Each structure stands twice: as structure tokens, then as C-alpha cells.
Structure 1
Amino acid sequence: MRRPLITTAASLALLATPALAQTERAPVSSGVVPAEVANTAERPIRFAATAPAGGVLAIPMAGAADTVRVPAAIAAAVQSAVASAKFEAGANATLDLYGVGGYDRVMLVGVPTGSLSAVQLADLGGSVAQATATSATPVAILTAGLQSAVATPAAHVARGVGLGQYRFDRLKTVDRTTANAQPIVIVAGDDAAQAYARDHAGLVDGVRMTRDLITMPSNLKYPESFVAIARAMFEGVPNTRITVLDEPQMRRLNMGSILSVSQGSSRPARMMIVEYRGGGDAAPLALIGKGITFDSGGISLKPGAGMEDMRGDMSGAAAVIGGVLAAAKRGARANVVAIAALAENMPGANASRPGDVVRTMNGRTIEIISTDAEGRMVLADANQYAIDRYKPAAVVNIATLTGAIVTALGDDYAGLFARDEALADRIEAAAASSGDPVWRMPLHPSYAEDMASPIADIANAVRIPGAGAGRGAHFIGFLTPEPTPWAHIDMAGMDSSSGTPTAPKGAPGFGVRLFDDLIRSYER
């Protein structure tokens, strides 16, 4: 039977006492590291005014009549092969010729007619890199005369090469990729190498780091190790500063929302803040990512089938760190703050329970209906910290937040929610130019009624059918004070790729390219 609740001064004092002392838990692991090697090295990217005399030669063609890049020595053989094969050189089509003009392989690559976008140029480079991955000789890509409105098209082709040849094999002891030291040579003018190093190499590094973090298993990736891995990537990068909040510091800031997520795990939470200053005294853009390094669902346990994929529930946190790394490495003329809200959601003895009420940093209270609605919880405190500490020009969240957005948009778009039209326009423009697509979703007033709690300021979930993605977005917006411009990107359907020219099968690193272009829109 239930006993009546007796409220006394003593019991109220007990309720006000922190449940945990201002110390951290000792993490638990096997103590045996599964591997101590790096991923197999990718092929080096080189630039040259002329192609090597042999090896593989890749020639972009915008239609069968586009022979402007075909060397005179092999022009007759190429024209004959195109006619015999009835090769139309349409977008993404290829035709291989072997033993022509001293080359082991001549690869004709169809590209769209007209002006090529940055995405199409990168796809060209990625396609060639993937198609020639096992080549034991140098590969050259001819880029002269490619039509594009973007500056230095050849540098974008090189970007695609860097993105397209990614691999994660550091945990394999058999069937590892064979290292290939033969370069991929971008045949272009003198300015291409400088443009790639200045504007694109840092982005490739940011995407690579993001993919590594997402793919890494959760016995190696947890809040503390995420911080260590990301911190190492910023060594020597100018104008950056890293701050990391531990659990005692977060308790002193009353971050009860993120702490309620981590309390069932032996791995303590962390909030990692990376500041980049390249824009003088301008207010920074705050990019804040969900960093659940493993999501079991907590007490509201997920089904076992597919739970291994929950090692990637920190894709948003990895994306914001990768985005600011890319901006910092190219010396962006903007100020950016990236915050990774990191926790592991486990059903331990001290785990949060459905029905618990917790307090956020800004003093609002949350009734926990589902401990599996944890991503929005960690973002609430991170958003408030960003607003209090940095007075940002805008706050943009990114998270693998809901299965509902996958139902709505599949793996074609991330969902964009925004209460500021100018910010939404910036994000949509960056999505279109970067190749990380978003689709605008509504923030309907009815969501506030849906998320009401009888005992707290808001509930973190509801038990009735409806707009799950929109309700999740409303929850984050409710706990993000106005008038700060705010937007939320639900990327739950975009954290895995079946394979594209610039994203081999696995984690694509969604969001890094989007944020790189978004940051450009804030540059002075």
C-alpha cells in the first residue's frame, strides 16, 4: 500500500541536498584495448600542371562531344571508343579504356553539362578516388576547363578525393585495406594547390574526425575519450580555446538536465566547449550538438535489435566539433563556439526514472516521461550555457533526436526547425551549397499543449501519437530563452550512408560541410 507523503522541514532539506557528492565515479572497462593501430593511410593528394606519363588518367566529359580535355595523343582512340560504345558521357556514367597511349587505364567520367556546383565537382573527385582505390599506379584527374561558378574548381575536385577515399579499419586484424602510397594527382593550374590547402584541407580533416568518432565503438568512445580525441585534433590550430566542464562544475551551474542523463552510467558526463575567434568583436555563432556516446534508452530501455547503432548517437556533437575545426583550419573571419553535450545513457542503479522531475540551468523544471528522450535534455543545459556565457548571434542545435523525423523525411533530408526566419534562410542556403540537405519543418503552437506536465514546467515526452519530431524541437525551443535566434536540425535519418561519391558506406559526417558553409555566411 502507499504511504502518505509527510512533508516536514527536515524532509524538504533532504530533497534540496544533492543526491551525489561533488565527486566523479570511477569508470569501468575491461582494461584491454582492442587495437592500437591507426586507419590505413589514405592516398596522398598532389597537384601538377601536367599528368604523369602512365598510370590511370581520368578525363571528365560533359557529353560525348566534350573532348576538350582529351590529350591529342589519345584523341583518336578515345573518339573511336566513345563511338563504338555509344557512350553519351551522361552524369555519373563511365567508360574505361585499357592500354591506350601508354596509360594502364583511361577513365572517361561523365559530368553534368553546364556550370558544375561545388557538390558536383566534389562528386567527380570522390567517384574517381573510389573507382581507382586498388590501382597500383598514380591516378591523374584532368580538370582544365571545367565550367563552374565556384572559385578554383580543381580544389573542389580535390576535396571530393579527400572525402571519397575515407576508410575506418583500425579495429581489424585481418582483411585490412592495403596501404597505397601512389598519389591521386589533380592536373590543374598553379593556384589549385594553394586553394585546396587554404579552403578545403581543413574541412576534409573535420569530416574525417567526425566520421572516426561516430564509427568508433562505445567501449573506446565515451565522454572523456571523446574530449581527448577532439582536443588532440586542435593541437596547434590558431585562435582556438577549449574548455571542458566536468560533473562537479555542471552541478554548481545547476545543470540538472544533462546530469540526469548521465547518472545511470559509470562514465561521467562532459560538456566540451571549443571557441574559435577570427571575427574580431562580433557575437559568435553557437553550434551545439547532442553527444550521447551510447544510448541504451536508460530505464526506458530500447529494443535489443539494432541497439549497436546507438554508438552513433553523438553524431551531432561530432558534427559541431568537426565544423569548427574546419573553420579554424582555414582561418575563417568569424567567431564560432561549438559545444558538445556529452553523456552516456545507461540503466544503472542510479539511473533517472520515468516520473522524476529535474531542474535545468535556467531554473525551468522537466518531468521525465521517457528516459529515452535524453538528447533534448542534454541540449537544454548546453543552450542555456551558450546564451549566458557567450551572448551568441544565434544558436543552432544538431542531433540524432527522433525516429519520427526518419518516418517523415527518410534518409534524404535532415529536419530543420527554426523560430527565426533569417537564421532558417542562412541554414537552408548552406545546406543547398554544401550537399548536406535539410527540409523545413513546422513548429506548431499545439506542441506546447502536447508537452505540458501537471507537475513541472514541461514534459520531455508524451505517450500519445503525433508529431514526435516537432514536439522534440518544441521542448528544446521552450528551454532556449528568446530573443536569441534559434534553430534545431534533427539529423536522425542522415547519420548513416549506403555509399555516395564523397561518403563511403558508413558514417557520412553529416553537418560538417553544412556548418562550414553556414560559418562562411557570418564572415566579415
Structure 2
Amino acid sequence: MSRFLSVVAALALPLAAADAAAERRISFAPYALPGSGTVALAVREGVPGEGAFAQLNAASNGALRRAVDAMQFEGKRGSKLDLPGLAGYDRVILLGIGEEPVTPRVLEDLGGRVGQEGAASASPRIELLWVGEEADAAAHLAFGAALGQYRFDKYKSRDAEDDTAARGEGELVVRTPAGVAAGEVYRAQWQPVATAVKTARDLVTEPANVLYPEVFVERAREAFDGMPNVRIEVLDVPAMEKLGMGGMLAVGKGSARPPRLLVVHYTGGARDQAPLAFVGKGITFDTGGISIKGSSGLWRMKYDMAGAASVTSAVLALAGRRAPVNAVAVAALAENMPSGTAAHPGDVVTTMSGKTFEIMSTDAEGRMVLSDAVYYAQQEFEPKLLVDVATLTGSIVTALGDEYAGLFSRDDTLAAQLTAAGELAGEDLWRMPLHESYGEGLKSPVADLRNGGGGPGAGVGAHFIGNWIADDLPWAHLDIAGMAWRESEGTPTSPTGATAFGVRLLDRFVREYHQ
């Protein structure tokens, strides 16, 4: 056990009274055209008469082609034609995948769309047909379906006669030439990642009156319960005081709910192998503190712990699929509240490293907790690399919207690898500048640094965190403020609400470059 850690005993903390939403059981079967029921199939742009489409068209005596022509359906990517009651089938769902080559991401998006259809349907069985021979196609289709069917409605009450209660229940069958054997690949390699994504989404979606630092710790213990090669340790307030973690303590001291630093250490590789370190911002609710935010959109600030949820769940994915690596997740958990004990603008804070900063805004709290968390990760674990994930700034949303997360790094190789992994995983990054001049606005007359002020907000925030990173350590900062929550239309594999952005990206990064 770490010489720095004070392990907090398990607490009897409140959990939600309602059950989580039911999801369809995903199963696998050999490719065949069912004679009835609900079927979903992909069609390329132009709707060529091939594969499952040709077979179903023949079985319907040409009714399928006549329906496509009548509706002028072209099979463009993202398009859909829903045909109820066609030729003895309850529903035939045609999903356009465009003209691009079939990749795992295309397959996952296709599966996600079917998963979303299944979540809204009361049909007891939906069958997804894929005749292609792509390696592990069934596993990627199932992975996408598991992600796409996610929903969080545990706090919604339902009448006994509410017909929506049965929606999303039943079975989703993936029919490919790989048959039942495809289930082995899915269960070993992709189902653990789907479970991890769901765990992160649940954590982010929970309201702040249910989920706060101590409860986050309990949920993590539950998620990792029984997993081999995993050690969970927690720093409580006395432990952080002993270490001099002024950044963590300054943010958390305004709340009646004390901060915690959660550490999840997974050892899947050699004992002497340096771990990959993933550090996440975990502000379970962000009022802005004394520098209080306006009321518009304030409810969404329960999502300010999305970075912590993502890094913790990324390690959950690695442990679940027995990845042959060592990895550590460090979650900096605090609630940022205004009170008589809260930190003030103008306060000077001494961090674990001994470096000091002047608080210009208590609403720049993410970088405050990360200053201690990233330093702790380096001192305690001597990692091979470090990636921090945070909903850090509104300015990154202004710059990149909800299409990309911002990537800041001093290491070109690490930046390129993370970008490539994001493209494969469907979690896209855009590299942003990390210019030395950004530090000019952080100069303080009374401390080593200020925690904000001047220049591009996202770049200044990244620059601040970088002051606690060793110069020779490969490091990347991911600002996911625009990607962690989708209020309007979601994507095929990420419905509206919490996205768990970062879980798939970090898992794919490990698969591609560290296994």
C-alpha cells in the first residue's frame, strides 16, 4: 500500500431506489434470413441489389425494391427507411451506410443505430443482418448496439399500463457468417468496454444530490468488485492535508461533502513495467464557488466530473478485458460550493509540489484539483505517460463545438497516437496550440502563478496544468467540455445526455500502442 494513502472504509451511502433501464440481451446467430418479425439491414448508397437486401427482396416478390423506389430511398449514410408490415414482416428497417469502406467505426455506428431502434421498440426480438466477411464484424456490430441502446430513466415513474415500459426489452440478434462464435470475441474484448461506457454515463448522469465524492468512490468499488489485479485506494481530507494538497482542499472546503482522491491501480502487465496514468477532473457539482456561475445551464454542472468518470471507467475496461498493461486512474473528486468556509479570489494556495498559485477565480477549479492530482500521479507511480481528461473550459466549446475535444500536448508522438485512436474509436480530437506565451497571463505578483487570466482560455488552462508536469514526461491534456454531454441530437453510439467521452478513446489508445 502507498506510504501516502489513508484508506477510507466503505460507507453505507444512498443509492437510487429505482432500477436502471432495461436493455436488450445481445445474442449471436449464423447468417440467415428470418421469415418474420423485425429485421434490420444495411444498404450501400444506390441500394444495389446484393446481400441481405437481394434475399429479402426476392422473399417479398419484389415488394422491398418497389417500396425503396416509391420512397426514393438512396441509402446515404445516416439515412433510414422504416417499412412496417412488409411481406409478412412486422418491420423491415433499412439503414444507409453510404459509399465509404466498411471499418469497425462504420460497423459500430450501424449497430448503434439498431440499438437505438431497439430501445424505442416494444418488439420482443430484433434481428440485425450482416452478410459481409469482415473480421470481427459481429463483435463491432454488437458493441455499437450496446452503446446505442443506452438510456437512463431510473427516476421516471411509470403507470402499470404504460406501454413504454416494455420498450427496449427483449433480444437483439446479430446474424453474420461468424455465427455464435462471434460472441466469444465480443464478450472478451468489447462487452467490457461497453460496460465501462455505461458505468461512466451512469456516473455523469446521476444528480448531484445522489452522487458526490464519497458516493463516486462507492460506485467505483462496486464496479471493480471481484476483478483481479485491481487495487483501489482513497485519500481522505487528513491524508491530503498531510501531503499538502492545497489545490484539492481549496476547492473542496466550501462544501459539506468532503473531497476525495480516488486511485485505481490495474496491474495486467509485468510488475516492473511503468504504468499508463490517466487523471480526471471530478467536480461532482460546480457552482463556481465564490465566483458563482449564472443560473443558465447550471443544472448541467453535475457533469463536471465527466473526466474522472471517463478515466476510472477506461481502467475498468482494461481490467474487464484483461489488457496486458499496467494502468492507473486518478480521480480528483470535489464539490465546488460557496459558503463561509469556501476559498476566496485572491487566496494563495500551496500545492503538493510546493508550487503556489493565486486564485483569480474560484470557478477555475478544475485546474486547481488537477495540479495536485497530476503531481501525485507522477510522484507515486512514475508513469510511462500521463493523460488528463477534464471538462475544463467553455472556450474549447466555442472553438470546437461538439465535434471535437481539444487536445493539448508537448509531445508530438503522443498527440498523433491519441488523435488516431480517437478516429478509430469515434471520439475525435483536434490538436490545439500550447504556446509558451500563454503563460504571460498566469504571472502573479504574490505567488508562482495565477490560476487564470488573459489569453485563450483553453490554452491558458492547459498551460497551467502543464506547470505541474515533468518536462520529460509524455503528457496530453484533453479538454472534453464540449463532448461530455449532448443536449440535442446524439450520435449512433452516444444517445442524448452523458457520452462517456474518453473511455473508448483511451481503450483504443492502449490497444493500438501499448499492448
- Does the TM-score normalized on the shorter chain lie above 0.5? yes
Partner of 2:89: 103
1:118-267 paired onto structure 2 within 5 Å = 118-132=104-118, 133-145=120-132, 151-174=135-158, 178-179=165-166, 180-188=168-176, 189-190=178-179, 191-267=181-257
Match of 1:323 among 306, 314, 322: 314
The one-letter amino acid paired with 1:123 is: D
Match of 1:468 among 440, 446, 457: 457
1:301-450 paired onto structure 2 within 5 Å = 301-450=292-441
Taking the aligned partners of 1:517 and 1:503, their CA distance within structure 2 comes to 17
Aligned pair 1:90/2:81, yes or no?
no
The answer (yes or no) to whether the contact 2:23–2:170 under 8 Å persists in 1 is no
Taking the aligned partners of 1:97 and 1:297, their CA distance within structure 2 comes to 50
SS at match of 2:124: coil
The answer (yes or no) to whether the contact 2:282–2:333 under 8 Å persists in 1 is yes
Taking the aligned partners of 1:169 and 1:39, their CA distance within structure 2 comes to 7
TM-score (norm 2): 0.91
SS at match of 1:521: helix
Taking the aligned partners of 1:269 and 1:66, their CA distance within structure 2 comes to 60
The answer (yes or no) to whether the contact 1:98–1:104 under 8 Å persists in 2 is yes
Aligned pair 1:69/2:52, yes or no?
yes
The one-letter amino acid paired with 1:366 is: F
- In the TM superposition, structure 1's runs of 4+ consecutive aligned residues that sit over 6 Å from their partners are none
The answer (yes or no) to whether the contact 2:367–2:464 under 8 Å persists in 1 is yes
Taking the aligned partners of 2:354 and 2:512, their CA distance within structure 1 comes to 34
SS at match of 2:316: helix
Taking the aligned partners of 2:350 and 2:16, their CA distance within structure 1 comes to 41
1:37-52 paired onto structure 2 within 5 Å = 37-49=18-30, 50=32, 52=34
Q: Please give the root-mean-square deviation of Cα atoms over the aligned residues, in Å.
A: 2.0
The answer (yes or no) to whether the contact 2:291–2:361 under 8 Å persists in 1 is yes
Q: Which moved more, 1:313-322 or 1:189-198?
A: 189-198
Taking the aligned partners of 1:387 and 1:320, their CA distance within structure 2 comes to 16
The answer (yes or no) to whether the contact 1:52–1:138 under 8 Å persists in 2 is no
The answer (yes or no) to whether the contact 2:237–2:259 under 8 Å persists in 1 is yes
Partner of 1:36: 17
The one-letter amino acid paired with 1:58 is: A
The one-letter amino acid paired with 2:37 is: G
Taking the aligned partners of 1:169 and 1:486, their CA distance within structure 2 comes to 37
The answer (yes or no) to whether the contact 1:290–1:399 under 8 Å persists in 2 is yes
Q: CA offsets, 1:53-109, max 9 Å, x none?
A: 421011111131142123352363323323333322221222233333432111121
The one-letter amino acid paired with 1:137 is: P
Q: CA offsets, 1:182-211, max 9 Å, x none?
A: 201000213321111111101111111111
Deviation at 1:386, TM superposition (A): 0.7
Taking the aligned partners of 2:204 and 2:268, their CA distance within structure 1 comes to 28
Taking the aligned partners of 1:274 and 1:521, their CA distance within structure 2 comes to 22
Deviation at 1:418, TM superposition (A): 0.2
Please list every run of 5 or more consecutive structure 2 residues that lacks an aligned counterpart in the other structure. Answer: 1-5
Taking the aligned partners of 1:270 and 1:292, their CA distance within structure 2 comes to 10
The answer (yes or no) to whether the contact 2:417–2:513 under 8 Å persists in 1 is no
Taking the aligned partners of 1:401 and 1:379, their CA distance within structure 2 comes to 10
Taking the aligned partners of 2:137 and 2:29, their CA distance within structure 1 comes to 15
Partner of 1:290: 281
Partner of 1:11: none
Aligned pair 1:486/2:486, yes or no?
no
SS at match of 2:52: coil
TM-score (norm 1): 0.90
Taking the aligned partners of 1:516 and 1:402, their CA distance within structure 2 comes to 24
Aligned length: 491
Partner of 2:3: none
Partner of 1:16: none
Taking the aligned partners of 2:158 and 2:71, their CA distance within structure 1 comes to 40
Q: CA offsets, 1:317-343, max 9 Å, x none?
A: 001011111111111121111111000
SS at match of 2:418: helix
Q: CA offsets, 1:245-271, max 9 Å, x none?
A: 111111111111111110111111101
Taking the aligned partners of 2:122 and 2:34, their CA distance within structure 1 comes to 14
Partner of 1:523: 514
Deviation at 1:35, TM superposition (A): 4.7
Deviation at 1:279, TM superposition (A): 2.0
Deviation at 1:311, TM superposition (A): 0.6
The answer (yes or no) to whether the contact 1:40–1:178 under 8 Å persists in 2 is no
Percent sequence identity is: 49
Aligned pair 1:80/2:62, yes or no?
no
Deviation at 1:429, TM superposition (A): 0.9
Deviation at 1:51, TM superposition (A): 5.3
Taking the aligned partners of 2:16 and 2:188, their CA distance within structure 1 comes to 34
SS at match of 1:293: strand
Taking the aligned partners of 1:88 and 1:412, their CA distance within structure 2 comes to 26
Larger-gyration structure (1/2)? 1
